[in-house]
C-alpha cells in the first residue's frame, strides 16, 4: 500500500517538474530562438576550444524523459497492464532512450584534431590530417566534417559560436577547404 503512495508522489513531482520548469523554458526558447545562437565557445587553459550545446536543448530532452517516466508511474499505480498499455509504455521508453543517446554533444577543437564528446557513447575523433570532406549548410547551419575512416562530426545550430568554429577549421585545414566554404566574420 505504501508503494502506491510513493508512486503517486513521484508521479506528481515529475508532472510538476514538467509543467513548472520544462514547458515554460521551451515556450521561452520557441519565442526567442530566431535571434540566433550568440554564445561564445569556451577556451580552456590547455588550448582546447569547446563548442557546447544550448542548455535549452537539454531541457527539452529532459521534459520528454520526465513525461515518459510519469506515464510509467501512472500506469504502475493504477495497475493497467493491458497489451496496448504495455506497448505504449514501451514506446515511451524507446523514445526516452533515443533522446538520451542523441543529446547534443560538445564539439571540441584540439591541437590534434576535432573531437565530439558524447555522454553515453564513445567519443568521436578526427585528426586534422584525416579530414576528407567538410559540408556546410547555409539554411540549416549544420557543419559536417568527415574523416578518412568514415567518422562524422557535426556542429549543429544547437552548438555555440559557428563563426569561431568555421575560423578554426580554416586555420587548421588551410587551403584544403571546399570552394563553397562560408566566409563568415568571427
Q: What are phi and psi of 74, to 5 degrees?
A: -60, -45
The 10s digit of each residue's pLDDT in 7-39 is 677 766 766 666 666 566 666 655 555 455 567
Q: Tell me if 134 is assigned to some domain.
A: no
What is the domain count for the chain? 1
Q: What's the CA gap between 11 and 109, in Å, rounded?
A: 42
The candidate with the shortest Cα–Cα distance to 104, out of 156, 29, 67, is 156
pLDDT at 19: 61
Residue ranges in the chain modelled with pLDDT below 50: 34, 186
Q: Tell me if 60 is assigned to some domain.
A: yes
pTM higher than the cut 0.95: no
Provide the domain limits for residue 83.
2-35+55-101
Q: What are phi and psi of 134, to 5 degrees?
A: -130, 115
Amino acid at each position: 500500500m505504501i508503494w502506491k503512495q510513493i508512486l503517486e508522489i513521484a508521479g506528481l513531482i515529475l508532472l510538476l517538474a514538467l509543467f513548472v520548469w520544462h514547458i515554460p523554458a521551451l515556450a521561452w526558447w520557441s519565442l526567442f530562438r530566431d535571434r540566433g545562437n550568440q554564445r561564445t565557445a569556451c577556451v580552456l587553459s590547455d588550448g582546447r576550444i569547446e563548442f557546447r550545446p544550448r542548455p535549452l536543448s537539454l531541457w527539452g530532452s529532459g521534459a520528454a524523459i520526465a513525461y515518459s517516466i510519469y506515464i510509467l508511474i501512472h500506469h504502475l499505480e493504477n495497475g493497467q497492464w493491458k497489451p496496448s498499455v504495455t506497448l505504449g509504455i514501451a514506446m515511451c521508453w524507446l523514445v526516452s532512450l533515443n533522446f538520451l543517446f542523441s543529446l547534443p554533444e560538445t564539439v571540441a577543437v584540439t591541437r590534434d584534431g576535432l573531437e565530439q564528446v558524447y555522454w553515453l557513447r564513445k567519443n568521436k575523433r578526427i585528426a586534422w590530417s584525416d579530414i576528407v570532406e567538410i559540408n556546410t549548410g547555409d539554411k540549416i547551419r549544420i557543419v559536417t566534417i568527415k574523416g578518412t575512416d568514415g567518422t562524422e562530426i557535426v556542429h549543429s545550430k544547437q552548438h555555440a559560436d559557428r563563426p569561431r568554429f568555421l575560423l578554426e577549421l580554416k586555420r587548421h585545414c588551410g587551403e584544403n577547404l571546399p570552394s563553397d566554404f562560408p566566409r563568415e566574420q568571427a
